[in-house]
Structure 1
């Protein structure tokens, strides 16, 4: 079981990371690239995965009118679900305070790094946001890992396939579906590296900040899982009310994903 269960491997890697970070802090700090590399590999597969899944899903809509109705419903559902997730997350963050206890000195933070991540706190205008969502290069959208642009491309390709019909482009859809299977297989390979990533991240955390940081991060993880569970329950209730689909039937249908 220990050799075949990814969960067990991650658990062992977590304990090993704590041990290494506690006994050899320098070694633990140096293990950070293991976690960073894993994240980079996962990010590299997100854009191809989104493209293949969206194109394959759109082509199963039947026709452009059905695609339009489905897209509008999906957009409305996305906006409502995102708003609910935002409210639940804000409430949990303010009530539980999962970041308390880090004892970070604000004077030690690099303000320029914050500005670089947030764009100096300036929000783009509506026109700028729309223009940014439109790719100026198909390759560039994937190279820059711009998921919104990839999504726009996927919708255009899927709509074009619906418009042309499967008889005119018989080889494209099977190729996209096969590419989707390949991407899922690659993600499966990458996930096998999760124990190494957990080891590196945990060893770096303990080596850099000490064992005290584990309790703070543990609280953060617990709050995240609790909020995710609450959010899933709310979505399940909404799904039941709108479609009548049983929660357990839905879980059985999607558990492989």
Structure 2
């Protein structure tokens, strides 16, 4: 028992349970819990930009061939589009079959939630693809680091790595320095991860304390449908992909259990980003592939978010008693294939993208967004966990397809002799 208590995953589980109990019986702790959780997530976020930058620069410099970088990036983006489209389609099918929105009463929506939904719709109205495309390329590289803009840091790092490859061997000293700096950041990360149980406790205490378990009752059907769909997606779709590429999905999930629990406690997939990169390298993925695929995946491979968006669309249609034709549902798939990628550069991305998609379709009342506000936090854990798992699987697939995967390290990591 003493040995078990030293494991991070055990400590995080206990912290989550305590957080639920404290939040339920002492809801006044919610502001303190939010403060604790935010501080922990910020500690992780301050490392994300430099770790991504250093990992990508070192990876590209080691490749030494920008054609290979472009090939890996292109294959990854194609994979992302195929898998997220599958996620959207599965979400629509399950929502149509289980009908979670049937019998929902619009009149039960609170005035505060309606006001919040109106603000979200206003924000969505200001979203444009021109802004999104401009957002990808940083006008100021320093600002991109300061604000933690993952996609902008990714673009800058690729260009910086390209610049080093053109030094014709004269950049070795610089690369050695970057290697040491990278080690320093990962050492800092290891220290911060010891605080993960505290962050998980704060996140769970805030969620339960603020919204309460009673907030689940009116929307329990949608929550169960979303969780069920994400479970099916992980173990059927991602499980099939893992089988085809000859690695064990279950053993992969067990290997990243710490990261999954941290995401569960904090409701943020970003809190596990540096950790998942380190774990995937230990599993045998070459550093340069991890450095390219994971940051890009956090912007363009949001499997959990895609499922949530498609199911929410059908849920709102059912709640509003709008009977969608097959062509309208195919239109929703087509629009979400594009708009779900817009989540990369938008604060509060899930609701903003959902609102902007509703505005395009114009057949589902956008006011129904207020129905989702109360339970969104409870579904964010499922979205974040599914996004994390999906990006890890994508990285292993890209590494194996590029013959940049060490089978011996993989066997050692998962305990196969």
What TM-score does the superposition give when structure 1 sets the normalisation length? 0.76
Instruction: Name the structure 2 match of 1:152.
Output: 155
Moved more, 194-203 or 209-218: 209-218
2:91/2:229 contact within 8 Å kept: no
Alpha carbons of structure 1 residues 181 and 37: separation in structure 2 relative to 1, 3 Å? same
Structure-2 residue corresponding to 1:114: 120
**d(CA) in 1 for partners of 2:185 and 2:54?**
9
Deviation at 1:210, TM superposition (A): 3.0
Aligned pairs for 1:21-100 within 5 A:
21-88=23-90
Residue 231 of structure 1: how far off its partner (Å):
4.3
Relative distance call for 1:160 and 1:3 in structure 2 (3 A) is same
* Alignment partners' CA distance in 1, 2:183 and 2:128: 37
Mapped pair 1:142 → 2:145: yes
1:27-48, CA deviations, whole angstroms, 9 ceiling, x for partnerless residues?
Answer: 3553221112222222222222
C-alpha deviation, 1:237, in angstroms: 4.3
Q: C-alpha separation between the residues in 2 aligned to 1:248 and 1:189?
A: 27
Gaps of 5+ in 1: none
- Per-residue CA deviations over 1:131-169 (Å, capped at 9, x if unaligned) read 32221111011112221211110110111111222x211
Change (3 A) 1:201 1:254: farther
More deviation, 56-65/139-148? 56-65
Relative to the length of structure 2, the TM-score reads 0.50
CA distance in 1, matches of 2:191, 2:100: 32
Q: Which has the higher contact order (CA 8 A, sep 6+)?
A: 1
The answer to whether the 8 A contact 1:64-1:163 is kept is no
Residues 1-257 of structure 1: pairs in structure 2 closer than 5 A: 1-88=3-90, 105-109=109-113, 110-111=116-117, 113-115=119-121, 119-125=123-129, 127-165=130-168, 167-212=169-214, 219=224, 224=230, 226-237=232-243, 239=245, 243=401, 249=407, 252=410, 255=413
Cα distance in structure 1, aligned partners of 2:10 and 2:223? 18
1: CA distance between counterparts of 2:98 and 2:40?
29
Given that 2:60 and 2:66 are in contact with CA atoms closer than 8 Å, whether structure 1 keeps it comes out as: no
Secondary structure of residue in 1 paired with 2:171:
coil
Deviations, residues 90-133 of structure 1 (Å, cap 9, x unaligned)? 556666789999x97353222354247xx3245423x5433322
| Aligned alpha-carbon RMSD (Å) | 3.9
Residue ranges of structure 2 left out of the alignment (5+ in a row): 247-396
Which residue matches 2:327? Answer: none
